[in-house]
Amino acid sequence: MIGKHIEALLMENQENFLIPADNVATVLYNHPLEHALLVLSKVGYAKIPVLDSEDHLVGLISLANIIDKMMGLTGFDIGILEGLTVADVMEVNVPSITYKEELEDMLHLLVNNSFLPVVDEEKVFHGIVTRKEILKSVNHLVHELEKRYEMTPKEKPIKEKLIS
Amino acid sequence: MIGKHIEALLMENQENFLIPADNVATVLYNHPLEHALLVLSKVGYAKIPVLDSEDHLVGLISLANIIDKMMGLTGFDIGILEGLTVADVMEVNVPSITYKEELEDMLHLLVNNSFLPVVDEEKVFHGIVTRKEILKSVNHLVHELEKRYEMTPKEKPIKEKLIS
What range defines the domain where residue A51 resides?
4-149
Domain of residue A49, CATH code: 3.10.580.10
Helix (H) or strand (E) holding B74: none
Residue A22 in any domain: the answer is yes
Distance from CA of B158 to the nearest CA of A (A): 11
> In this predicted model, which residue has the larger pLDDT, B30 or A9?
B30
Tell me which range, A12-21, A84-93, A149-158, is most confidently predicted by mean pLDDT.
Answer: A84-93
User: Quick check: is A159 in a domain?
Assistant: no
Q: Is residue A145 part of a domain?
A: yes
The whole-angstrom distance between B53's CA and the closest CA on chain A is 26
Give the number of other CB atoms < 10 A from CB of residue B74.
6
Write out residues 92-121 of A within 8 Å (CB-CB) of B.
104, 107-108, 110-112, 114
ipTM score of complex: 0.83
pLDDT per residue over B42-79, tens digit each? 897 889 999 999 999 999 999 999 999 998 888 888 89
Interface contact flag, B8 A163, Cβ < 8 Å: yes
Q: Report pLDDT for A74.
A: 83
- Classify residue A161: in a domain, yes or no: no
CB-based contact B111 A12, cutoff 8 Å: no
Which residues of A fall within a CB distance of 8 Å from B1?
143
User: Is B147 close to A3, i.e. CB distance below 8 A?
Assistant: yes
The pLDDT tens digits for A81-115 are: 999 999 999 999 999 999 888 888 999 999 999 99
Whether A110 maps to a domain, the answer reads yes
Which stretch of DSSP H or E encloses residue B101?
none
Chain B residues touching A10 at Cβ < 8 A: 142
The pLDDT assigned to B86 comes to 98
Residue A136 to residues A12, B9, B157, Cα–Cα distance (Å): 11, 18, 20
Task: Name the domain count of chain B.
Answer: 1
Provide the residue type at A155 as one letter: E
- Residue pair B86/B31 in contact (Cβ under 8 Å)? The answer is yes
The verdict on residue A163 lying in a domain is no
